[in-house]
Every structure is written in structure tokens, then in C-alpha cells.
Amino acid sequence: MALILNIETSSTNCSVSLSKDEEILVLKEDNNAGYSHAEKLHLFIMEAIEISGISKNNLDAIAISKGPGSFTGLRIGVSTAKGICFALDKPLISISTLEALAHQIKTNKGLIIPMLDARRMEVYSAIFDWEYNPNREIQAQVLDETSFKSELENGKVYFIGNGVEKTKTIISHYNAVFTEGKLPSASTMGKLANMKYKKSDFENVAYFEPYYLKDFVALKTKKN
């Protein structure tokens, strides 16, 4: 039975869980604190391990939400996960942020579109069927009135993530179901991490990098 520490920092939700096989044993998260991962992530990890009563040395793997999402959040999460892997000599598992987000929707029909805000009218999105099989790869897309038109004309489409708020302002369709207020969470990583663990689908700890989707551009401070 695989005991896995799951870490999610791709959005404002700092989230940590411990899972055994597919069951979540402990969940620690705060989705209302803004980008406070640097202050809270290590605390949540220690608290989750303490609450479980399991020694950190008994962990079988560390799973990290790989992105896309916040550049800073992803860097903090990945560097923390890699540090634990090196310290404990444990394998690293990467989980698609949008795939894990899609698993927060439970339905028996239609499509699921997880989406994360990428500023202005742009979102990071992917499309899955109701059994979570990928229907379209992850994209950075600018939303307009025609976005997801063909999907909506063919049946129910469930939108989830912090990109929903602006999506519902420009897309109006009777097949659109909007789930607001949901962010990526370590609560849905256990099942996906366990599947990869069984297949020994591990990352190279030394060379693994987050999936940013777009290049990070540092803005220079304007001089007077």
C-alpha cells in the first residue's frame, strides 16, 4: 500500500495531503490566504505527518502538482518536493494540475473543462470526458463568445477552476454548468499519484521542472 505525500501550490490554495493507496488520510489547506506558500507549506507538511502518526521515513513517494499555474507557487512547491525526495531518498511523482482539478467534478455524462486564470481574458484549460480521459490537450487560450462552442452544442460541459468567473461573463449556453470557488487541491491527487506509483512512473528529481506552459517574464522596475 503506497503512502504518498501530495503537494499542491499552483494557485492561492496551499494544499497538502497524505494518501494511502487512493484514500486521503489527512488534508491540510488554506485557499483564502493568498500566495502564502513560503510561510505555510512546510508547516502544513509537518502537521499532516504529525496528525497521521506516520514517520516521514515511511513515505513511499512525494507527489507534486506540476502546473500550469502560478510561477511562484509552482517553484515553491516543486523545490520543496524535490528537497524532501533528496533528503529521504524517495521517488518524485508529478501530477497534472488541471487533471487533478477535473477530478473535483463527479458526473456520468458530458465534458469537464478545468481552467485556471492566466490574467486578462486568458485561461489555462484542458478538456476531459466524464471518465477523466483527455479530450483536448492543455492550452493557454484567450476567451471569446465562440470558445468551446462545439463542445457546448454536443452536450453538458462542466467548467471548474478560478477561470470560471470570467468565462461565465462571456459564455452563455444552456449546456454550460459553472462550478465557482474551486481551486486545485491535494484532496484529488491521491488516486492519480497512486496510479503512477504502481507503474513506477517517476520523475528525475535532479532535472524535473514545473510545467509553466508559458515562459516566465520578469518585469523590470521603471526608473524615474
DSSP character at residue 203: B
Higher per-residue confidence, 86 vs 30: 86
Partners of residue 115 on adjacent β-strands: 125
Q: How confident is the model at residue 9 (pLDDT cuts 50, 70, 90)?
A: very high
Strand runs labelled E in the chain: 3-8, 14-20, 23-30, 61-65, 92-95, 111-117, 122-129, 134-142, 157-160, 176-179
Over residues 21-45, the mean pLDDT reads 88
Over residues 64-82, the mean pLDDT reads 96
Would the pLDDT of 221 be above 90? no
pLDDT in tens, 179-191: 999 999 999 999 9
Show the cell assigned to 181.
470557488
Show the cell assigned to 174.
444552456
Residue 54 contacts by C-beta under 8 Å, 6 or more apart in sequence? 3, 18
Show the cell assigned to 48.
499532516
* Cα–Cα distances in angstroms (integers) from residue 67 to residues 19, 126, 128, 141, 212, in the given order: 20, 12, 16, 16, 6
- pLDDT of res. 49: 96
